[in-house]
Amino acid sequence: MVQNPNTEWIHCPCLQSWTYGRQATNHHRIRWRLLRTPEFVSTIMLGPGERLDVLIDFSGSTIGKEFYLVSNKFSEFNVQGRQSFNLLKFKVDKSSGRNFSIPSMLSVIDIVSSSQAVKTRVIDIAQMIGGEGGHGGMGRHSINGKIFEMDRVDETVSAGTTEIWEFDNLAGDEIHPMHIHGIQFQVLERIGGRNKILASEKGWKDTILLMPGEKVKVIMTFPEYTGVFVFHCHNLEHEDDGMMLNYKII
């Protein structure tokens, strides 16, 4: 599992091949698990809180060859991702002698249809409110123009019902990985920015990454039990700044 638990960004060009200390140009492809079918990719991008299971094929590698999992820089967005560095080294030291092929079907996923949704909520994550304090006087990170308060219920949903939530960062200039507690969802659509559902977003998710200028629609069926849960940006600084709200299942 590739995991990114905190505020750092990981943008990996899969495995970067090194031979005798010199960089080569070939890359191994990484496949996601727990999707319906395998997906072959050349890079993966993880926001804080996102996890991926990947399968790496070393079968065509020579004994002694070394590979590095590299975090790439991506400087097109303000303050994050300005440095690249190695995360992990793999060294091929023997042949297993086994023949393996990935199954054409990995899992069965029941699709949640948008026709099942009883409500659509727009979650505005682009606003900064107030102008005092930190962040260069820009204000505080918010959701729907609100800052987190422990004892306030911001959204109320009915147990067992299905809803569509639209996370709207179209007017934003920062990256936000949005995480919903207590539930998993499926991604319906990405509007603007990358303008597509990524390979890693075709299965069940609990965190969705939004770039500046993007809106992402997700669909979820709430459990039959009741209680109060939170949803928030998984950037630690944004979460601590108040970019979190409560939702209540009744």
Supply the range of the domain harboring residue 173. Answer: 114-249
pLDDT in tens, 198-217: 988 999 999 999 999 999 99
Written in H, E and C, the secondary structure of 42-58 is CCEEECCCCEECEEECC
71 and 129 share one domain = no
Look at residue 248 in the predicted model and tell me its pLDDT. Answer: 99
Four-residue CA torsion sign, 162, 163, 164, 167: negative
Look at residue 58 in the predicted model and tell me its pLDDT. Answer: 86
How much is the CA Rg of the chain, to the nearest whole Å?
Answer: 20
Segments of the chain scoring below 50 in pLDDT: 7, 9, 13-33, 133-134
Cα end-to-end distance, the chain, whole Å: 35
Look at residue 30 in the predicted model and tell me its pLDDT. Answer: 39
172 and 227 share one domain = yes
Q: How many CA atoms lie within 13 A of 118 on its CB side?
A: 9
Look at residue 159 in the predicted model and tell me its pLDDT. Answer: 98
Look at residue 81 in the predicted model and tell me its pLDDT. Answer: 63
User: Does 99 map to a domain?
Assistant: no
Burial tier of 105 (Cβ tally within 10 Å: 0-12, 13-18, 19+): exposed
Q: How far is CA 78 from CA 70, 121, 129, 217, 234, in A?
A: 21, 29, 19, 25, 17
Look at residue 17 in the predicted model and tell me its pLDDT. Answer: 34
pLDDT in tens, 30-73: 334 478 888 888 788 888 889 888 888 888 889 999 998 888 87
* Total tally of structural domains belonging to the chain: 2
146 and 72 share one domain = no
Look at residue 11 in the predicted model and tell me its pLDDT. Answer: 55
User: Does 106 map to a domain?
Assistant: no
Look at residue 131 in the predicted model and tell me its pLDDT. Answer: 66
134 and 243 share one domain = yes
What CATH number does the domain containing 215 carry? 2.60.40.420
